[in-house]
Chains A and B, each alone.
Chain A
């Protein structure tokens, strides 16, 4: 901020407003390079007592947790992003540097540091010790993955290493919990400032590496043998022919599972929400308040929560892929294809997930370090045909396209139309990516780097904590915006309230809005009823079905044919085509908007994205209507 690195003398940063109970806590930062097992250790130390937020103003996530020491005292841990160095160039490094030097007003300056390094790759990982030790904060150097080091025949003299670094050293296996008690000892004990024998010039990478090598050899470090199993597995997974085939098999297996499991689990969640709703409804007196609670808040939030099983399932798969180490291999295989549209291999799995739901897709773009590639991936993800579009497509296609065979028995006209819509979304995504990557999100020449971690078995704890974490982020962060929009939409559908009764939907505020915007949507072939449907579809796309059902007085569940006939009556074929195109392009999903806002750290990108997609949807629908008209 003011350029001071020592914040003891810097008043502005030293004044940290923090709740009283936390102020008494000792705060300790956890830092380490990517793939050092830092998060595994953080999970091991804090368990379920974790909080996740975004550092304000940046896209970096802030994980804090409470570790309980054996004597009952507690310590607050801050899990900093994985970094290779502290020279603040990337956003991650900037945040790590600012937190460690006490320059972020939203985070207390840590009193000590847990530096997590991969013991099987100590030579390179020790390079990070130089800038960390030079901060002068009490530091415990944690050599993680001790089990791997031993089984692959590596060794290190901890006492000599501690003497060389002037800081305590612990050899642990965070996955197995071995040696973690030494970390607790450090957190509980008196912490001394480190006094390393010598430190290199931090700006000089070769000197830092030479220093790390020297320290390692002083500590009789013997690097372990190459990971035998990783090489063997790579011979299969990165086989020129077998690799891509296995990759395809993995992708198909994931999708097969999501589509077979998501449907019944969605029905189950729907059932539970419905029953809780009925139960609350029976406890409330009839009237405006009851309607607000049940029809507004409960149904609105419920229509979003039904997607939770599918979202969690996707996170489970992404978690398994990432923790096992396969994600990096998948990214490697997909890189060349993705590079053709200006993206990179790591964009592939998120974009693939977007075919189920854009929410987990956008949240999983965190693995993409390059910010521009990440934003570009976020911006095109909602073009992938998500599962909420499917029922809408199905309804309109069934109403307008005769189910006649097109290519023998294999492809009916309906299926061909559906396939066409999938391809349409994909093509627009590709074009958008190209445009973005050659204009506002041009990457320059930043080289693409992809570290291949060793293969590891994912652990249940880490997968479970990840699901909990992502589920919480979705419900809490997206939930607030979803709640707000739910109440607003309820107001639109239920006001003006006359004589204790909500108005007919045609006379409601939404109906008025629908009629008001009718001139604007007439060129697309839509009447005011479809207009209302488009407004309520902002909840999530499939809500339009329920809305149209209400408007036409048909229960879409009981009378599918009736709703189809009603829509057929109200839309010309051109209008139906326009409606399909509109749904393919428009960003009608508050969850996605909320998640984009969270992941990009502001309203700029979601507003841009929403505007772009809406304009595209309008123009596309206009063209579609006039093409067939």
Chain B
């Protein structure tokens, strides 16, 4: 207060400006259809048990039924096509995928998985999606993972639609306390991708474990 007095700054004016503009912001947010809600938009997720992860034949089934990932054309989401397995699913057809979609109800919500579980899915050649910004992805990412920055989700919508709904997807971001992967998983889940896991440890844990990166 003393410094304000010395500098001849009116503290009441400062308070008025802050309160009025904040109120304006609150009112605008209230009437704005895409305004923010005070409850977190990232819901808490449950952990996947190993039995869900491993014993489920669904994984193997969906694996067989997936079309080649190189059909996910659109260069933005496929930064390194060389590493995408192309001829692993030669018999995949759209009809089969469609059939699988109708049968597949998924887990009911995205599930969290730990490092071991993530690695098992990696060995099964599941689709890993990196939710971080492009710059972070370029610095390093899980081998064969695709970049889908959560902040640019809308730019990728046309490409996302090329991923079959039955695809098992593992989403990750920086590490334990980053929300991007959960937020992205929820958005993908909302779009109908129901076989979706969130690798909680993310890039940090994967890298520390010395698992394949690029």
A interacts with B: no
Interface on B for A, CB 8 Å cutoff?
Answer: none
